[in-house]
Structure 1
């Protein structure tokens, strides 16, 4: 399928796991991809090489989404390289676990700076080009714990809950510009964990009704649909990809 041919997408945190799967899914639809990673150039370039095998163009941009100057440079590089920008996927996030009583403000801010403020910076920097697109799309990546809560993750839960609020607010603000804004909320997705890191406690309290965990590609498929011409009437929504682990709104 080539429903995204001629489109250009920025995917933040695209070097691994869900971000990489999203970048590949959009490329399979025909979009050119800006692969963003915070520091790991090797991962980003490996993802870009895989994307290029699909016959689309890529650009690797290393930069921290918490840094507005780095984000502005990324948006400008995308437009300079490809002449346009149509899709922004705010995927970059940090995952940490710590009891609230032991958490200091720097640890709290680190999560919000990347996950929530990063989405703010990226949207602000990309907005002029998305307006010019005429059919711009923003997809934010949420988190199941924002809807259920989770122990030892006050910072992560708060940041991801903020992403839902930002999605709904921007859907109103940007509708007149022809920009849709939605959120895809992954559930229990099987992604590699850092060596020596145990399974998060909140994963053990949720069960899917499908009887299995999802794959990054399951999340990516939802993102690709929301970026397609067939999803132009969908905006302000939180779309859950969780195998039935959470059935709330």
Structure 2
């Protein structure tokens, strides 16, 4: 793949990159010549498979296991990335968990778990990596958000609330970090074609997912992870320096949120 985005030689970190969107983002950047830092909460086999695929594309890659919701994991990601590559130029805050409970069954533990995973993790990443970006006068931050942050979700209230907070964090960081050559943006994937846990997405078997997509998405199919990964690469490009605080909806026209 040719790298018209100017990513070659830069270092990317993606939390939650053992599968699905995170994996696709790693491989998109690896194909463009980036060094990649892969993170999975606990599945070493998945993460190492992504590493192997990235290296097959010519990239240098490392794996760091750990929950991105924990500050200690973020600090280890920083230390390991700096040891391997010197610094991180681009990070994508992608790690997420979802639940399927109505308000009455949602516990305090659910609330704190999902706010930490979606929102606090992104705060820790910013505190860890933005100072180095400021020193170098260049950086790209991408938050994987989603429609729940705009429209809410009755069976995933903590998750939706965290996504709404993440949108505000993106806007606030874009204003704070913009003077230092750092952009901060959201990508909203919508109902992408990913592996889903049927406990958190009841009944969403592949056949039902395809029918749902035809009925609700303008392009009559689910967006592919590679399409979402391309949007991440676009936001990381040298010529995307004037795009910050934005939200790009890669949802196939499912929601058309303003």
User: Which category of TM-score, normalised to the shorter sequence, fits these structures?
Assistant: over 0.9
Counterpart-to-counterpart distance in 2, 1:195 and 1:187? 17
Structure 2 counterpart of 1:51: 54
Counterpart-to-counterpart distance in 1, 2:145 and 2:156? 14
Using the TM superposition, give the Cα deviation of residue 8 of structure 1 relative to its aligned residue in structure 2, in angstroms: 0.3
Structure 1 counterpart of 2:244: 235
Structure 2 counterpart of 1:70: 73
Q: How do 1:111-122 and structure 2 match up within 5 A? A: 111-122=114-125
SS in 2 for 1:81: helix
Counterpart-to-counterpart distance in 2, 1:7 and 1:139? 15
Counterpart-to-counterpart distance in 2, 1:65 and 1:233? 29
SS in 1 for 2:223: coil
What's the TM-score once normalised by structure 1's chain length?
Answer: 0.94
Structure 2 counterpart of 1:174: 177
Deviations 1:14-38, CA, capped at 9 Å, x for gaps = 0000000011111112110000111
Ranges in structure 1 where 5+ consecutive residues have no aligned partner? none
Please say if 1:61 is aligned against 2:64.
Answer: yes
What's the TM-score once normalised by structure 2's chain length?
Answer: 0.91
1:198 to 202, 209, 230: 202
Q: How do 1:22-61 and structure 2 match up within 5 A? A: 22-61=25-64
Q: Is the contact between residue 152 and residue 161 of structure 2 (CA under 8 Å) also seen in structure 1? A: no
1:215 to 219, 224, 233: 224
Using the TM superposition, give the Cα deviation of residue 57 of structure 1 relative to its aligned residue in structure 2, in angstroms: 0.2
Using the TM superposition, give the Cα deviation of residue 195 of structure 1 relative to its aligned residue in structure 2, in angstroms: 5.6
Structure 2 counterpart of 1:86: 89
Using the TM superposition, give the Cα deviation of residue 133 of structure 1 relative to its aligned residue in structure 2, in angstroms: 3.3
Structure 2 counterpart of 1:226: 235
Cα 1:180–1:199 shift into 2, 3 Å? farther
Counterpart-to-counterpart distance in 2, 1:34 and 1:152? 33
Deviations 1:3-60, CA, capped at 9 Å, x for gaps = 2111001100000000000111111121100001111111111101000011010010
Counterpart-to-counterpart distance in 1, 2:152 and 2:40? 28
Using the TM superposition, give the Cα deviation of residue 150 of structure 1 relative to its aligned residue in structure 2, in angstroms: 2.1
Ranges in structure 2 where 5+ consecutive residues have no aligned partner? none
Counterpart-to-counterpart distance in 2, 1:207 and 1:148? 15
Deviations 1:207-240, CA, capped at 9 Å, x for gaps = 1111111111111111010001121110000110
Using the TM superposition, give the Cα deviation of residue 132 of structure 1 relative to its aligned residue in structure 2, in angstroms: 3.0
CA RMSD of aligned residues (A): 1.6
Q: How do 1:137-176 and structure 2 match up within 5 A? A: 137-176=140-179
